[in-house]
Each structure stands twice: as structure tokens, then as C-alpha cells.
């Protein structure tokens, strides 16, 4: 059942809660899966629905700060924090009063209490007339829900209802601080920052588990810290470091995944051509990142990505600490610093057909660079692509052995831009992936410099993997003659082929440098100068 925030709906939702039901409610942080905190049986239903380990205690939500002492032993410190931050995204761990059933606190003698600021949450709690125990309303281990549709996705009809209060204002769960430890300890960072807390708790200690992986077997102060969390289905890596370094790093990894997805900062959305890109806030706006993070992780899942990179900043304070803490758990502490990675310097060479690109590749090899020719990769891959290409262009492009006759294919595919585009749709992704795999291997081997040559450097997304890109071009007449000689074509056929391709302007406007190949010694000198600029 989906409830709106109308008086009538809220009263109905509160009534279900008052009678032992389970209803998901919006809060300013994330949606909570609520039940009457004083009813052990109702609370057991939360653990069942979520698949939550029994040793992970729940937060008790109250509508009014004055109720604090009813359920926990309030200390002067607790009152000061309540005064400063409630209602709001702060949870305090205090000694538990007996009215709170053991199941809520997972057998501990402490209890987590929070007074949310979301007006809908507070109205529901007030109307229910009982404190509400509520963990985040997601299946254990998956990203927290920041919209009603996330809750519905995870639970469908397995709970009694969801109150749809729209997207959550803050987007990460509350800050959890323990006041029973000495010194007081930040167990989970959230929207209320360590800096804000230190004004009231000068001795505040930050639990080791906030940004570090706990050694096996070590006891967590907060049971929630030891469980795997927020994990998307894809194999996930967080990449820190400057935007350009990170983009090179990510754009070069391919290793045979079906669908690579990048979650990045808003400003970086154009740095990953050819990959699925999801943004989650401005690079310098941790509050926006906090709002966008869980939706981004869920979107990557919905997209079916099997490899996920998340751009991250290693914040050590502020709201950003909460974002970083969630990301570390989402990727299982699999973080790479792009700035510290060994990166092969890569020059990408492109240009229209017949411009003499391969001459540049030869010069590169003579000057100590590793080289990759996309055309060679294409020839190597062709057997694998045969079925797809024949399905598109007909079996008369096959020779007697069932292999593709490159000449027959070229005749059909390079006769007009539309046919060329159809071939490219089949070949570009496969070639780009194979080139990236070779590049990753060179990188792993510690290669210093490499040159890639590809006519579709830009369209296939390969240029994003390069440090520098260059268009090599020649005069029309020169190109015509080169193609006629190379491929045994008539003048007319050679013209047709040139005209089916992207115009020179396209190449030049999408690369860093352009160089006229007029076959002179000056051309070679200039080409070597560019290569050595790497
Ligand atoms: O923003 C939030 O806090 C959301 C909304 C719904 O209020 N709730 C939430 O609940 O995030 P949950 O269950 O997903 O996370 C509660 C965290 C867990 O890490 C849990 O281990 C910790 O609080 N916790 C609860 N009771 C505790 C206790 N007595 N001692 C130490 N940690 C406790
Ligand atoms: Mg949770």
C-alpha cells in the first residue's frame, strides 16, 4: 500500500504502526522501515523483512526531544546535543531503559535514539503514539533508499505500506555518536559533521572503522560497521585523484566486462565517452554528493552494469566524510588513487583514410614507443565478428571458407555514410575494448610510452584514454593515389570511399594537434617532436 502525505493517509499509516504493522516512512536522511519500538513481535518483523542480522541493533525514533529520557538514560551531554541538533540527522547511543525490548538493541544495554526533522516522520510518530524502531528501508547490504520507489523495489508487497514523502533532503543516514564510550565516539559519519559535534564534544574520537577496514575478527563498537553495506551488484572500484588522471585510468580499463558504468562528479560527465555515465553531485559539493549517492548506486544496478567505477574524494571531515565512508563500504575498500597509478603516456593518432597514419606508428616504434594499430586489432577480431557482419551485409561478403572478404565488405560498407555507420556499430565497441585491453597490459608491464593509431579514435571513445591526440592529414590528391595503390581501386571508387567518411574538420576539431603529412623530412622531424612530447 502506498500512502501519500495527506492527513488521512498519514493517520492510516500511523494506525498500522500502532497495531504492530510495518510501514516505511520518509525521514530527512533515508527512508526507514518502521515498527512500534515497544512491540518485540513487530520489531522481529523488521529483521525478517530486511534479512538483517540479529546482532545489528535498530534506531528508536521519537517525535519530541523531551521523550529522550523515557527510553534512554539521558546525560547532560545528551541534552546539549539534542538542544543543538534535534530535530535532525543525529543519533545518540545511550544506556537503555527497560521499556525498550532486547530485540531492538540486539541484546546490548545501550540504545540508539534519534528525533528526525522530517515533518511527515514526526507527524506519523506522534499519531502512532509510540516510539518507532526503524532501520534504513532497504534489503540488508544494498544501497539505502532515498525515494519511495527504492523501498518498493526492495520490498514490494512484503511490508504493510510505504509513505511517499518524495526524495530525502539529506540522502545519507544520520550521524551516529556514542555517549557511553569514553571519550565519546563517532560511529557513523553523517550530515552532522565531526567539526559540528566537537563544539559540544571536544574530546570526540572517530571510530577506526569509519574509514578503515576492520581486521578480521575485530569487534566493532557499532555492529553495523562490520557488515557489508551499500554494495551494488557490479564489481566496484572507487577512484580518487585529479579528474584527468582518473578518467585516463578508468577509460583504459576494459578487461572483458559487458557493461562498464562510471559514477562521477557533475563536471566530469563528458570525460567517459562510450561508457554509461551517472553523476552524483558537483566535485566540490559534498552535500549534493550525499543526496545523489544512493540513487546513483541504484541506477547503476538497474542498468545492469557488471563493472562500476565511482569517482571519490578521500574526505577526512565535513559532510564529505559521510560520503566517503559509504563509498568505502560500497566498494569493499577497493580504492585506487589515480595519481599514484603507473600510467603509460599515450598518443592517439587519427585522421582520414589515406593520410599516412601508419607512417607515424612506424616512427613511434623507431623511437622506443609501444604501438597499437586499431586496424590490426580489427583484422585479428574479424573472425569473431563474422556472424554479426554477415547478418548485416549479407553472405555474399563471405569467401568460400566462410571468412569475410575484406575487399567485398569494403565495397558494400564504405560506399555511403549510412552503410559505414552500420559497420562501425558492430566493429567500434569490439575494437575499442580490445585496444584498451592491450593498453592495460602495457600499463601493467610498466611501459612508459605508447602510440595508438585508429581511424575511429574519437567515435569509439579511445581518445579519452589518450594523453594527447593528433590528426594526421594529407592533400586530397595524395590520399586518392595512396588509396588507389594500397587497395587496388579505381579513382572513382577511391573517391567514393573518402566521401563516405567523416570530413577532415571533424578529426581536427576533436584532437589536440594536427599535422600535415606531405612525405617530407620536415614531416618526420615534426612527428618525432610530437612523439617525444609525451
Ligand atoms: O538516518 C538514519 O539513521 C536512518 C533513518 C531511517 O533514521 N536509519 C538507519 O538505520 O540508518 P540503520 O539501522 O540502517 O543504521 C543504524 C546504525 C547501525 O550501524 C547500527 O549498528 C547502529 O546504528 N546502532 C544502533 N543501535 C546501536 C547501539 N546500541 N550501539 C551501537 N550502534 C548502534
Ligand atoms: Mg542501513
DSSP labels for 422-446? HHHHHHHHHHHHHHHHHHHHHHHTT
The ranges of the chain annotated as CATH 3.90.870.10 are: 2-210
Written as nine digits, the cell of 276 is: 554509461
105 C-beta closer than 6 A to ligand 1: yes
pLDDT digits (tens, 9 = 90+) for 185-230: 999 999 999 999 999 999 999 999 998 887 766 666 666 655 567 8
Cell of 524: 618526420
- How much is the CA Rg of the chain, to the nearest whole Å? 30
> For residue 505, what pLDDT is reported?
95
pLDDT attached to residue 200: 97
- Whether ligand 1 lies within 6 angstroms of the CB of 58 is answered as yes
Pocket test for ligand 1, best of 25, 105, 133, 223 (most atoms within 8 A of CB): 223
User: Is 108 close to ligand 1, i.e. is its CB under 6 Å away?
Assistant: yes
Q: What would the pLDDT profile of 304-351 be if each residue is shown by its tens digit?
A: 999 999 999 999 999 999 999 999 999 989 999 999 988 899 999 999
Instruction: Categorize the per-residue pLDDT at 257 as very low, low, confident or very high, splitting at 50, 70 and 90.
Output: confident
CA distance linking residue 243 with residue 407, whole number of Å: 43
**Residue 367 and residue 534: Cα distance in Å, rounded?**
12
Q: Count the alpha carbons within 13 Å of 284 in the hemisphere toward its beta carbon.
A: 0
Length of the chain: 534
Give the model's confidence band at 254: pLDDT under 50 very low, under 70 low, under 90 confident, else very high: low
Say yes or no: domain 2-210 is CATH 1.10.20.140.
no
Q: Of the given ranges (288-302, 403-417, 497-511), which has the lowest mean pLDDT?
A: 403-417
- Specify whether the CB–CB gap between 54 and 161 falls below 8 A: no
Ligand 2: centre distance to CA 30 (Å): 9
Give the ligand 1 atom nearest the CA of 221: 31
pLDDT in tens, 405-440: 988 898 888 878 888 889 999 999 899 989 988 998
Q: Is the CB of 27 under 6 A from ligand 1?
A: yes
Main-chain dihedrals φ then ψ at residue 256, nearest 5 degrees: 70, 25
Cα 512 to Cα 106: distance, rounded to the nearest angstrom: 61
pLDDT level of residue 487 (50, 70, 90 thresholds): confident
What pLDDT does residue 342 have? 85
Residues of each domain in the chain carrying CATH 3.40.50.11030 = 235-337
Nearest protein CA to atom 29 of ligand 1, as residue? 111
- Choose the residue to mutate in 73, 176, 227 for probing ligand 1, maximizing ligand atoms within 8 Å of C-beta: 176
Pairing relation of β-strands 32-36 and 132-133? antiparallel
Measured between alpha carbons, how far is 491 from 479 in angstroms, rounded to an integer? Answer: 11
Phi and psi, residue 51, nearest 5°: 70, 35
Answer whether 0.85 is exceeded by the pTM.
no
Q: Which of 58, 179, 45 is CA-nearest to residue 107?
A: 58
The per-residue pLDDT for 230 is 80
pLDDT of residue 218: 65
> DSSP of 79-97, one letter per residue?
HHHHHHH-SSSEEEEEEBP
pLDDT, residue 187, reads 97
Q: What share of the chain is helix, strand, coil (3-state, %, to 5)?
A: 45, 15, 40
Distance 164 CA to ligand 2 centre (A): 19
Domain 235-337 CATH assignment equals 3.40.605.10: no
Which atom of ligand 1 is nearest the CA belonging to 52? 13
Order of strands, sheet of 276-279, starting from the edge strand that comes earlier in the sequence: 276-279, 260-264, 307-311, 235-240, 335-337
Average predicted confidence (pLDDT) for the chain: 93
**Tens digit of each residue's pLDDT (9 = 90 or more) over 461-484:** 899 999 999 999 999 999 999 999
Share of the chain above pLDDT 90, in %: 80
pLDDT in tens, 225-245: 555 678 888 999 999 999 999
Class of domain 345-531: alpha beta
How far from 431 is each of 380, 425, 426, 462, CA to CA, in Å? 10, 11, 9, 10
* pLDDT > 70: percent of the chain: 97
Amino acid at each position: 500500500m502506498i500512502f501519500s502525505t495527506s492527513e488521512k493517509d498519514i493517520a492510516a499509516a500511523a494506525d498500522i504502526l500502532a497495531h504492530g504493522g510495518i510501514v516505511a516512512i520518509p525521514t530527512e536522511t533515508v527512508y526507514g522501515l518502521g515498527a512500534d519500538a515497544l512491540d518485540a513481535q513487530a520489531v522481529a518483523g523488521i529483521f525478517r523483512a530486511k534479512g538483517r542480522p540479529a546482532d545489528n541493533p535498530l534506531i528508536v525514533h521519537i517525535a519530541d526531544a523531551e521523550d529522550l529520557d523515557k527510553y534512554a538514560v539521558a546525560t547532560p551531554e545528551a541534552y546539549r546535543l539534542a538542544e543543538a541538533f534535534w530535530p535532525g540527522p543525529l543519533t545518540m547511543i545511550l544506556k537503555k531503559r527497560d521499556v525498550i525490548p532486547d530485540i531492538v538493541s540486539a541484546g546490548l544495554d545501550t540504545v540508539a535514539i534519534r528525533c528526525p526533522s522530517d515533518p511527515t516522520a514526526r507527524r506519523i510518530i506522534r499519531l502512532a503514539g509510540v516510539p518507532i524502531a526503524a532501520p534504513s528501508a532497504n534489503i540488508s547490504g544494498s544501497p539505502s533508499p532515498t525515494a519511495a520507489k527504492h523501498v518498493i523495489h526492495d520490498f514490494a508487497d512484503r511490508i504493510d505500506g510505504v509513505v511517499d514523502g518524495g526524495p530525502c533532503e539529506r540522502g545519507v543516514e544520520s550521524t551516529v555518536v556514542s555517549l557511553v564510550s569514553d571519550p565519546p565516539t563517532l560511529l557513523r559519519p553523517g550530515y552532522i559533521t565531526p567539526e559540528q559535534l566537537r563544539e559540544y564534544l571536544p574530546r570526540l574520537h572517530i571510530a577506526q572503522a569509519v574509514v578503515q577496514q576492520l581486521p578480521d575478527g575485530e569487534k566493532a563498537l557499532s555492529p553495523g560497521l562490520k557488515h557489508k553495506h551499500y554494495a551494488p551488484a557490479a564489481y566496484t572500484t572507487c577512484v580518487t585523484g585529479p579528474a584527468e588522471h582518473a578518467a585516463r585510468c578508468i577509460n583504459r580499463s576494459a578487461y572483458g566486462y559487458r557493461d562498464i558504468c562510471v559514477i562521477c562528479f557533475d563536471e566530469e560527465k563528458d570525460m567517459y565517452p562510450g561508457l554509461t555515465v551517472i553523476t552524483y553531485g558537483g566535485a566540490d559539493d559534498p552535500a549534493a554528493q550525499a543526496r545523489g549517492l544512493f540513487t546513483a548506486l541504484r541506477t547503476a544496478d538497474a542498468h545492469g552494469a557488471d563493472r562500476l567505477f565511482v569517482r571519490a574524494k578521500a574526505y577526512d571531515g565535513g559532510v564529505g566524510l559521510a560520503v566517503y565512508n559509504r563509498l568505502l563500504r560500497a566498494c569493499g575498500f577497493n580504492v585506487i588513487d589515480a595519481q599514484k597509478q603507473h600510467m603509460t603516456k599515450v598518443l592517439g593518432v587519427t585522421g582520414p583514410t589515406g593520410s599516412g597514419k601508419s607512417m607515424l606508428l612506424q616512427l613511434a616504434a623507431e623511437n622506443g614507443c609501444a604501438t597499437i594499430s586499431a586496424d590490426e586489432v580489427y583484422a585479428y577480431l574479424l573472425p569473431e565478428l563474422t556472424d554479426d557482419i554477415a547478418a548485416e551485409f549479407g553472405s555474399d561478403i563471405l569467401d568460400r571458407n566462410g571468412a569475410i572478404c575484406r575487399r567485398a565488405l569494403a565495397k558494400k560498407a564504405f560506399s555511403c555514410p549510412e552503410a559505414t555507420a552500420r559497420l562501425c556499430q558492430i566493429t567500434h565497441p569490439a575494437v575499442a575494448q580490445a585496444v584498451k585491453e592491450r593498453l592495460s597490459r602495457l600499463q601493467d608491464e610498466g611501459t612508459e610510452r605508447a602510440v595508438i593509431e585508429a581511424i575511429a579514435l574519437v567515435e569509439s571513445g579511445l581518445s579519452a584514454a589518450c594523453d594527447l591526440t593528433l590528426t594526421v592529414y594529407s592533400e586530397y590528391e595524395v590520399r586518392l593515389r595512396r588509396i588507389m595503390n594500397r587497395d587496388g581501386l579505381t579513382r572513382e571508387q577511391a573517391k567514393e570511399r573518402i566521401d563516405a567518411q567523416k570530413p577532415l574538420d571533424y578529426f581536427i576539431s576533436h584532437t589536440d594537434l594536427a599535422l600535415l603529412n606531405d612525405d617530407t623530412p620536415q614531416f618526420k622531424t615534426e612527428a618525432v617532436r610530437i612523439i617525444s612530447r609525451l
